[in-house]
Structure formats: structure tokens, C-alpha cells
Amino acid sequence: MKMNNILAVMMATGVMLSGQATAADKSAATFTSAQEARIGEVARDYLLAHPEILVEVSQKLQAQQEEEQQQAMTAAVIKNQAALLMDKGTPSYGPADAKVTVVEFFDYQCIYCAHLAPALEKVIKANPNVRFVFKEFPIFGQRWPASLKAAKTGLQIWKQKGADAYLQYHNAIYATGHNEGRLTDSDISKAASAVKFDASKAADVQDTLDAINTLAQQLGFGGTPALVVMPTTGAYANNVTVIPGFTSSAALQAAINKAAGAKE
């Protein structure tokens, strides 16, 4: 069955319906049962003979859905700039007056976050003028309690010891290689002790965790890692990059360059 045969049938049907609509004083045109049956037969025969069209249609639909999701997340990022960039309870590293900010939502027990950690560490070292914000998002906390404990300890270290200590702790947790439920209380205590964290003076950080969880929902982030790369001021759709999943250091660098207005 040729595509032009399908078009011929539909064009012929369209001519018939056009005449019917005129005769009925522009009333709504409908297909007869016989016409609907014939169109269905032609379409079925053609798709059976050319199943690759179904794959093409499926891919195009998926791409369209992903583009719509990306646009929605970008719009949500722009709407929630203050929560992303100005929450003092959220750990950050880098100059306060940085022109570009990278925000990561992560879980210490997420294997993809663990794979991303060395790439992010590389990007941090290569971009001393960029600010990095760490949104503790322990989505595996109910499955693996160490996920939640590590997140809380990280936030408490940030409040008590500051940016350098936090980043050292953050990297030390990932350096254990213990993810997907293998992180232990001993791992957490060792990383915290290395930065001289005093657990007896730990702050209450539940409000910060709750705020991060709410923000993630507003942005449409259902998993980790999820990253946002944006200008610290003057963000709009064309200079914001949202990455809802694992990425590479090269892709992160490209997003930073885009946010900074540099030509790729």
C-alpha cells in the first residue's frame, strides 16, 4: 500500500464531505461508518507494511514530551530563583558574587550521583569564579537511613563549620564508594570527624530539608541527580540549563559557558 493511496482516499473523502457540509448549510461534517472503516483499513495495511513509521512517530512523540518537560522545568527554575540561589541554609561553595551558579540536587546513596561526583569535583576546580550550591535531597532516606543521616550531617557541618569543611565532608562521603545502601554510620562519623564537626552542637536542619523537598517538587525533580546551571542574576529561558539526570563534566562546562554568555 503506497502513501499516495492513503492520501488519495482521504482527499476523495474530503471532497465528498465538503459537498455535504455545503448542502447542510455549513453544518459539522462527519465520516460515515463505511468511510471510517475504509480509512482504518488503509492505515492498518500501510503501518503493517511499514512498521518503522511507528518507531519514528514514537521517537518524535518522546522528543516532543521531553522538550515540553524541559520548558516547564526551565520556567519553574526562573520562577523559583530565590529559593535556588538565596537559601542560607543550603550549602554553597565559591564566591558570593559569582556571575554563574550551579545547583545540584543529590542523594549520597544514589549511584548516579556517586558517578557524577568526580566530574563535579573536576568542574569545581576548573571554575573558581562559579558558585556551586548543594541541595541535600535524600530521596532514599526511607529505604536506607544512612542517606538521611548523611544529608542532615552535611547540612549541620555547613552551619557549624562553613563551606570548606562542607565540601571536604561531601567529597569524603562519595570517596567511600559506598552507595545504594552500603554507606555506614561509621563512614559518616569518620568524614564528619575529619572536619572537626561537634555533633553535640549540631543545629536542627529539618526545615531546610523540608524546603529542599518542596522546591524539588515545584521544579519537577522526581529523582537524583538533578542540576540547574544559571546566571546568578538575569536568568531567562535561553541562558538556563536544566539537567534532570546524570551528565558529564563537558556538558556541565558547556552549560556554565552558556550561562556566562560565552560562545561555545
The residues, ordered by sequence, that sit 6+ positions from 154 with a Cβ below 8 Å of its Cβ are 91, 108, 134, 136, 166, 169, 170, 173
179: cell is: 552507595
- Can you give the residue range of the structural domain that contains 95? 79-260
Co-location of 133 and 17 in the same domain: no
Of the candidates 242, 262, 261, 263, which has an alpha carbon nearest to the alpha carbon of residue 252?
A: 242
Q: What is the mean pLDDT of residues 3-19?
A: 43
Position 14 pLDDT exceeds 60 = no
Position 91 pLDDT exceeds 70 = yes
Q: How confident is the model at residue 60 (pLDDT cuts 50, 70, 90)?
A: confident
Q: Does residue 121 lie within any of the structural domains? A: yes
Q: Does residue 64 lie within any of the structural domains? A: no
Co-location of 44 and 100 in the same domain: no
Q: What pLDDT sits at residue 50?
A: 78
Co-location of 151 and 225 in the same domain: yes
**DSSP letter string, 95-140:** -TT-SEEEEEEE-TT-HHHHHHHHHHHHHHHH-TTSEEEEEE--TT
Q: Cα separations (Å) of 64 from 54, 71, 142, 201?
A: 15, 11, 34, 51
Co-location of 124 and 233 in the same domain: yes
Co-location of 25 and 101 in the same domain: no
- For the ranges 60-64, 77-81, 215-219, 240-244, the lowest mean pLDDT is seen at 60-64
How far apart CA 243 and CA 139 sit, in angstroms, is 17
Q: Does residue 72 lie within any of the structural domains? A: no
Q: Does residue 138 lie within any of the structural domains? A: yes
Q: Does residue 74 lie within any of the structural domains? A: no
Helices (H), the chain: 3-23, 33-49, 52-79, 81-85, 111-126, 145-161, 163-175, 185-193, 206-219, 249-260
Q: Does residue 69 lie within any of the structural domains? A: no
151: cell is: 544529608
Q: Does residue 59 lie within any of the structural domains? A: no
Co-location of 137 and 30 in the same domain: no
Co-location of 200 and 99 in the same domain: yes
Co-location of 129 and 208 in the same domain: yes
Q: Does residue 156 lie within any of the structural domains? A: yes
Q: What is the mean pLDDT of residues 240-256?
A: 97
Co-location of 244 and 170 in the same domain: yes
> How many domains does the chain contain in total?
2
What DSSP designation does 24 have? T
Check if the beta carbon of residue 41 is closer than 8 Å to that of residue 49: no
For 150-184, the pLDDT digits (tens) are: 999 999 999 999 999 999 999 999 999 999 999 99
Of the candidates 263, 262, 252, 259, which has an alpha carbon nearest to the alpha carbon of residue 126?
A: 252
Co-location of 14 and 129 in the same domain: no
Co-location of 11 and 137 in the same domain: no
Position 201 pLDDT exceeds 60 = yes
DSSP 3-state of 20: helix
Read off the pTM: 0.77
Q: What pLDDT sits at residue 26?
A: 43
Co-location of 165 and 120 in the same domain: yes
The residues, ordered by sequence, that sit 6+ positions from 158 with a Cβ below 8 Å of its Cβ are 90, 91, 165, 166
Q: What is the CATH number of the domain that holds 249?
A: 3.40.30.10
Position 6 pLDDT exceeds 60 = no
